[in-house]
């Protein structure tokens, strides 16, 4: 081995060790488990890993054979099998699928159709008579081959039938097949049938470890062959060995030498690839030896057979090396995909974080304490404004009641016709009327205070409507807030997670508390009663105590006028005090309810502040996680890129090593 060849071989060994397929597979599996992928990506990664492992575990080596009709493709396959099974172009009709040839301990062919139906020569092709006669005399191998050819023709000859084929597999007890060689014979690529190109391209790309492109020496490098390779196999040229066949038809050594110099140059110029693997053989001489055909030039034929053995060995070497190349290619593609997918996945996460972060900045209240005080002051003022008409209505009703009562008292007093009847009117008519008016007025004041509670509830509802908008903004940031719950369903303490569902278990409870503080709890009615016309009955009784001694004094008109004046003074004083008491009580009730409303608003915003603080903390933690993930991804991307580069170098060296080992000079030795 030359020093350059030794260096190349040593580099190949080192790179193969660095490009350990199993290590890369384990790395990708562990790497993929560290990330959350969309389901299509998960399925793709899993499928790619399974396919690579299956290809790695498969000990068979798959050799595709590509060529035009009459190119010597069939003869070359026969030479590899050391048999003439295919000497009549038996596979010419199988245009819908490639034909697989592999080891079997006896000759057989299995045809599978697209509908799932299967036919085999031994099960379906041997006639009943042949089965019967086989009991007495086993047919020769030649007879078996002839019958097998007939079966294939009968099964696949018609195009309508061939179009329904899913696969054809020939089993043959060849030593080459026994060693693990599987030949995938593709349809002739220069036929008019468009399925040929599809079948051939798929076989070379997806199924073959390497491919032999057959070039007949008598029609070297046709334009149709170049067009097919350029259009369909340009990405697989590195796994192709270009095999010049029918070399024995070129009689003059100088012509063979010129031909073997010209063909590589033409291929490289047309395909834009340098250092292609180009070999030359005469497979007919191998088949002739198998069939014991008479040879015109036994010495030249023996030289061709020796060269065929050399080329055959080199093809085996290429198959093994290209298996590694294929695995490296698939790993490289998968790693390249991961290199692209990971930053994309990170971009999605970062964009989502940025959206939430910016929304949080927009949605949160910068000065929560100031904002709370402002909303508290606004709603307190609005409650005062909305309750002012109610207060004025209540006081106006007190004034109107006083005026009406005075009119009734004056009318009753002035209607008295005797001094003796005056006291009776005061005791029996005016006093009961004052008592009734006092009770009725108490009911009216209590009703107005109830209306005040409704105003407070409305004010709270208005605030809660505002607050829902704030909570909705938080909920869009992941606050998990249910703002649709009934607002008075439970206490804040019992609903700390959701918050808005009734922060104050009832503003009604606070209203009741304010009423109790204002009017004395369960005796609220009595409290209202005492603040209305306080002591008016005692005053009236005292004011009329002089009446008995004045019966014989003033005249009746004077007495009635004096009595009414005394009563009016007493009623005015009582109602003036009532006006003052009710005004104070109403203001106190409004104040108490303002305090309750303010406390509720404070509790709402306190919980809001807690949620915002939690979100800010969550945002901070998410930013830290993203930064940690960025760093992890940077490390992973460097690791993947290093591995991908190693695989690329290994693949390149294997290609170079393969081309270097397939020497053109060795082929030319057949001159």
Q: What is the mean pLDDT of residues 364-376?
A: 84
pLDDT-derived band at 664 (thresholds 50, 70, 90) equals very low
Average pLDDT over residues 347-370: 77
Residue 628 pLDDT level (bands cut at 50, 70, 90): confident
d(CA 243, CA 255): 17
Q: How confident is the model at residue 63 (pLDDT cuts 50, 70, 90)?
A: very high
Range in 224-233, 246-255, 378-387, 481-490 the model is least confident about: 481-490
CB 275 within 8 A of CB 659: yes
- Calpha distance 219→245 (Å, rounded): 10
Kind and range of the H or E element at 166? strand 165-172
Task: Give the rounded percent of residues in the chain with a pLDDT score beyond 90.
Answer: 15
Asked if the model's pLDDT at residue 105 lies above 80, the reply is yes
Predicted confidence at residue 34, as pLDDT, reads: 79
Kindly state the helix (H) or strand (E) to which residue 57 belongs, with its residue range.
helix 39-57
What pLDDT score was predicted for residue 392? 93
Tokens of 565: 């004046």
- Sorting pLDDT into bands at 50, 70 and 90, what band is 528? low
Q: What are phi and psi of 111, to 5 degrees?
A: -115, 125
C-alpha to C-alpha distance for 445 and 583, rounded to whole angstroms = 10
Beta pairing, strands 118-120 & 99-103: unpaired
Residue whose pair of structure tokens reads 């699928």 in the numeric block: 97
The pLDDT of 80-106, averaged and rounded, is: 74
Per-residue confidence (pLDDT) for residue 495, from 0 to 100: 31
The mean per-residue pLDDT over the stretch 128-141 comes to: 52
Mean pLDDT, the chain, rounded, equals: 77
Closest to 540 in 3D by CA, of 414, 413, 441, 415:
413
What value does the mean pLDDT take over residues 72-78?
A: 90
Looking at the chain, how many residues does it have? 671
In this prediction, residue 120 carries a pLDDT of: 85
Confidence grade of residue 82 (pLDDT, cut at 50, 70, 90): very high
Handedness of CA 435, 436, 441, 443 (dihedral sign): positive
pLDDT score recorded for residue 285: 92
Q: Are 300 and 248 in contact (CB under 8 A)?
A: yes
Q: Is the pLDDT at 51 greater than 90, yes or no? A: no
pLDDT average, residue stretch 376-388: 91
pLDDT band at 663 (very low <50, low <70, confident <90, very high): very low
Where residue 153 falls among pLDDT bands split at 50, 70, 90?
low
CA distance 366 to 386: 30
Is residue 379 within 8 A of residue 459, CB to CB? The reply is: yes
pLDDT of residue 252: 86
* Residue 642: pLDDT band with limits 50, 70, 90: confident
Please tell me the distance from the alpha carbon of residue 298 to that of residue 294, in angstroms, as a whole number: 9
Q: Which of 521, 457, 454, 451 is nearest to 488 (CA)?
A: 457
3-state secondary structure of 69: coil
Residue 657 pLDDT class (50, 70, 90 cuts): low
Q: According to the model, what pLDDT value does residue 403 have?
A: 94
Please write the tens of the pLDDT for every residue from 491-527: 332 332 333 333 333 333 443 444 434 443 334 444 5
Left, alpha or beta for 180 (phi > 0: left; psi -120 to 50: alpha)? left
Q: Tokens standing for 536?
A: 């008016």
pLDDT digits (tens, 9 = 90+) for 201-246: 888 888 888 899 999 998 888 888 888 888 888 888 888 899 999 9
State residue 482's pLDDT score: 44
The whole-number pLDDT of residue 308 equals: 92
- What is the average per-residue pLDDT within 418-431? 86
Strand arrangement, sheet containing 277-280: 118-120, 108-113, 165-172, 99-103, 181-185, 61-66, 210-216, 240-245, 277-280
Measured between its terminal Cα atoms, the distance across the chain in Å is 23
Q: Which of 245-249, 257-261, 546-550, 556-560 has the lowest mean pLDDT?
A: 546-550
CB contact set of 252 (below 8 Å; sequence gap of 6+): none
Please state the rounded mean pLDDT for residues 399-412.
Answer: 93
pLDDT value at residue 493:
29
Kindly state the helix (H) or strand (E) to which residue 13 belongs, with its residue range.
helix 3-18
- Look up tokens 């086989």; give the residue: 134
Residue 294 or residue 222, greater confidence: 222
SS3 325: helix
Range with the lowest mean pLDDT among 321-325, 416-420, 530-534?
Answer: 530-534
pTM for the model: 0.58
Q: Which of 56, 99, 58, 94 is nearest to 81 (CA)?
A: 99
- Residue 422: pLDDT over 90: no
pLDDT for the residue numbered 103: 95
137-146 confidence digits (pLDDT tens): 556 667 777 7
Q: pLDDT digit string (tens) for 442-452?
A: 888 888 888 88
Question: What mean pLDDT comes out for the span 425-446?
Answer: 87
What contacts 24+ positions apart, CB below 8 Å, involve 555-559?
Answer: 556/416, 556/417, 556/418, 556/419, 556/422, 559/419, 559/422
Q: Which of 144-153, 415-424, 519-528 has the lowest mean pLDDT?
A: 519-528
> Distances in Å between the alpha carbon of 103 and those of 177, 209, 646?
5, 17, 36
CA–CA dist 117, 155 (Å, integer): 12
pLDDT, mean of residues 107-111 = 88
Model confidence at 536, pLDDT cuts 50, 70, 90, reads: low
Angle of CA points 613, 619, 622, to nearest 5°: 140
């Amino acid at each position: 081995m030359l020093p350059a060849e030794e260096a190349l071989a040593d580099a190949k060994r080192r790179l193969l060790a660095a490009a350990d397929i199993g290590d890369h597979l384990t790395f990708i599996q562990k790497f993929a488990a560290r990330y959350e992928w969309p389901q299509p990506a998960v399925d793709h990664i899993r499928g790619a890993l399974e396919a690579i492992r299956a290809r790695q575990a498969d000990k068979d080596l798959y050799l595709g054979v590509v060529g035009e009709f009459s190119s010597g493709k069939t003869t070359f396959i026969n030479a590899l099998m050391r048999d003439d099974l295919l000497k009549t172009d038996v596979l010419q009709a199988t245009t819908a699928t490639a034909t697989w040839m592999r080891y079997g301990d006896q000759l057989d062919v299995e045809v599978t159709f697209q509908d799932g139906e299967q036919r085999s020569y031994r099960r379906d092709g041997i006639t009943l008579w042949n089965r019967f006669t086989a009991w007495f005399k086993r047919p020769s191998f030649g007879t078996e081959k002839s019958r097998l050819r007939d079966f294939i023709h009968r099964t696949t000859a018609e195009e309508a039938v061939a179009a329904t084929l899913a696969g054809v597999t020939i089993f043959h007890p060849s030593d080459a097949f026994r060693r693990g060689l599987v030949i995938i014979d593709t349809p002739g690529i220069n036929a008019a049938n468009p399925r040929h190109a599809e079948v051939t391209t798929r076989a070379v790309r997806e199924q073959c470890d390497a491919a032999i492109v057959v070039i007949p020496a008598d029609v070297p490098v046709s334009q149709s062959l170049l067009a097919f390779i350029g259009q369909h196999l340009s990405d697989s040229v590195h796994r192709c060995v270009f095999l010049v066949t029918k070399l024995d038809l070129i009689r003059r050594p100088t012509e063979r030498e010129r031909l073997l110099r010209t063909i590589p140059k033409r291929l490289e110029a047309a395909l834009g690839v340098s250092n292609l693997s180009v070999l030359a053989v005469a497979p007919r001489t191998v088949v002739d030896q198998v069939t014991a055909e008479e040879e015109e030039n036994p010495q030249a034929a023996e030289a061709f057979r020796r060269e065929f053995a050399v080329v055959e060995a080199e093809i085996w070497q290429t198959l093994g090396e290209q298996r590694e190349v294929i695995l490296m290619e698939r790993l490289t593609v998968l790693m390249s995909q991961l290199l692209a997918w990971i930053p994309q996945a990170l971009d999605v996460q970062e964009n989502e974080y940025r959206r939430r972060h910016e929304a949080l900045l927009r949605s949160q209240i910068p000065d929560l304490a100031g904002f709370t005080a402002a909303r508290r002051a606004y709603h307190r003022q609005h409650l005062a404004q909305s309750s002012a008409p109610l207060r004025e209505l209540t006081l106006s009703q007190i004034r109107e009641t006083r005026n009406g009562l005075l009119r009734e008292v004056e009318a009753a007093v002035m209607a008295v016709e005797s001094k003796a009847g005056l006291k009776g009117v005061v005791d029996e008519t005016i006093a009961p009327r004052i008592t009734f008016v006092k009770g009725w007025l108490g009911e009216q004041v209590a009703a107005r205070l109830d209306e005040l509670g409704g105003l407070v509830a409305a004010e709270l509802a208005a605030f809660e409507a505002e607050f829902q908008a704030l909570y909705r903004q938080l909920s869009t940031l992941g606050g998990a807030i249910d703002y649709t719950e009934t607002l008075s369903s439970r206490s804040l303490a019992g609903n700390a997670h959701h918050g808005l569902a009734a922060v104050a278990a009832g503003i009604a409870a606070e209203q009741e508390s304010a009423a109790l503080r204002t009017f004395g709890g369960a005796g609220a009615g009595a409290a209202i009663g005492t603040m209305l016309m306080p002591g008016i009955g005692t005053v009236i009784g005292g004011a009329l105590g002089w009446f008995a001694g004045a019966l014989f004094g003033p005249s009746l008109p004077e007495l009635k006028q004096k009595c009414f004046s005394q009563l009016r003074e007493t009623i005015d004083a009582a109602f003036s005090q009532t006006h003052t008491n009710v005004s104070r009580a109403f203001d106190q009730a409004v104040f108490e309810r303002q305090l309750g409303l303010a406390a509720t608003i404070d509790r709402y915003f306190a919980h809001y502040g807690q949620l915002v603080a939690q979100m800010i903390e969550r945002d901070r933690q998410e930013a830290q996680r993203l930064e940690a993930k960025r760093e992890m991804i940077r490390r992973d991307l460097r690791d993947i890129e290093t591995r991908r580069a190693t695989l690329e170098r290994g693949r390149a060296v294997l290609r170079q090593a393969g081309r270097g080992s397939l020497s053109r000079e060795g082929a030319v030795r057949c001159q």
